[in-house]
Structure 1
Amino acid sequence: MENTTPLRLAVIVASVRANRFGPTVSGWFADEAEKHGGYDVDLVDLAETGHGLPLAMPGSGAELPPEVERVRGGLAARLAAADAFVIVTPEYNHSFPAALKNVIDWFHGEWHAKPVGFVSYGGMAGGQRAVEQLRQVFPELHAVTVRETLSFHTAWERFAEDGRPHDLEGSSAAAKGMLRQLEWWGRALREARTRTPYGAVA
């Protein structure tokens, strides 16, 4: 029997820069996911949840300082609970933010056998070069990236003051396309992980 329990979708805000545009884009997308149905959305803002994870990682078996363990443990629980991820990212110098890479590298099994979608934004390239690089990173974490994406070039001109895109109909249609793919992969992989824990084959 099919498990119809809503999928836990973690929408990750990758930028931590001052005066960032990421909360506008991610807030709109999270609303689209809620309206789509079938998802329990968790908005994970790295400016809040990733703050406190150092760049220097401890050696294997080393004890973490209590303040780092608190940050890592809280974020680990949210990532582990997710059935699917959407990364909302800008493009910095033809790549994605260092804060996102640091969070990716602090975790491993939390990403396993789960689908990942991308919403990018930026200048004329719309953040697409950041997504191209992330498509190379996530397979190393045993995650599956979906084909459909959303990209907003000159994003600050594409959104109205109410936080919604001017081309709401087209943007919503693109969001629905990606959400449908995430839902298919999310349900298929959740069922597979339930049947055979991925750690047994990774």
Structure 2
Amino acid sequence: MDFSNIGNLIAGVGSILVNMANVFAQVESVALSFAILAGCVCFYKSILLGFSDNSTVQERRQALWLAIAGILLVQITVLFSVILDTISNGEESVDGGEVLRLSEAAQSTDDPMKAGILACLSFLACVGWITGIRGLLAWSSMGTDAGRGQFWAGACGILFGALMVVPIWTLNALTSQYGSQFTAMFGM
């Protein structure tokens, strides 16, 4: 086997992943904008359901969950920051630019392997935002008969989304908890 071109292969894959990380930064921006828009729609729908003259108890319950989900969707960066601040004892918080920072770090490094890893971490952070938004949207259907079992699905989505938004801190926390046995599972 000829391994003389393996460096060029790693550099090529690294540059492709860095370009994808730039796209993920834009996806983060779109996802957070969608969260604000969806939160406003949920809150508006809760006002329409809750304050109508002939609303039933179930419609008022649905209006309550819509209002909670709407407020949390609009303030998703604050929600994730509070969750991470609670879990990490004040070490970590978010402000909505995590994917952008990871993609900029991937662009600025000269090591293609490190750039590829940072690009993959930016993908995880992007998926974290989308998972958290999906969890909050699951909570918005809690007041209906079809959404009765969505509380824990939504809560898990929010928690895992918050942990995935800061993948470096999450990996460091797992490594400090489980030591070298955890990193050995991944060949590190």
More strand per residue: 1 or 2? 1
Which one has a larger percent helix, Structure 1 or Structure 2?
A: 2
TM-score by length of 2: 0.29
Could you say which structure has the larger radius of gyration?
2
TM-score normalised by length of structure 1: 0.28
